[in-house]
Amino acid sequence: MDIDASHFRSGDTVYYGFSIYLPSTWQSDSREDIVFQWKPWRDTCEADKYPSAFLSVQPNGKWRLRVNSDSKACSTPDSVHKTSYDLADVKPGQWHDFVFKYVWSYGSQGRIDAWYQTHKSPGWRQVLSATGPNTFNDEDDTEGYLKWGLYKPAWNTGPTDVNSRTIFHDNIAVGKSFSEVNPAVN
List of E strands, the chain: 13-22, 33-40, 53-57, 62-69, 81-89, 94-103, 111-118, 121-131, 144-151, 168-175
Cα 5 from Cα 8, distance rounded (Å)? 8
Model confidence, pTM: 0.95
- Model pLDDT, residue 186: 66
pLDDT per residue, tens digit, the chain (186 aa), is 677 888 999 999 999 999 999 999 999 999 999 999 999 998 999 988 999 999 999 999 999 999 999 999 999 999 999 999 999 999 999 999 999 999 999 999 999 999 999 999 999 999 999 999 999 999 888 899 999 999 999 898 888 899 899 999 999 999 999 999 999 986
- Model pLDDT, residue 183: 97
Cα 173 from Cα 28, distance rounded (Å)? 28
Cα 126 from Cα 129, distance rounded (Å)? 8
Cα 79 from Cα 166, distance rounded (Å)? 34
| Domains of the chain listed by start with CATH number | 4-181 (2.60.120.200)
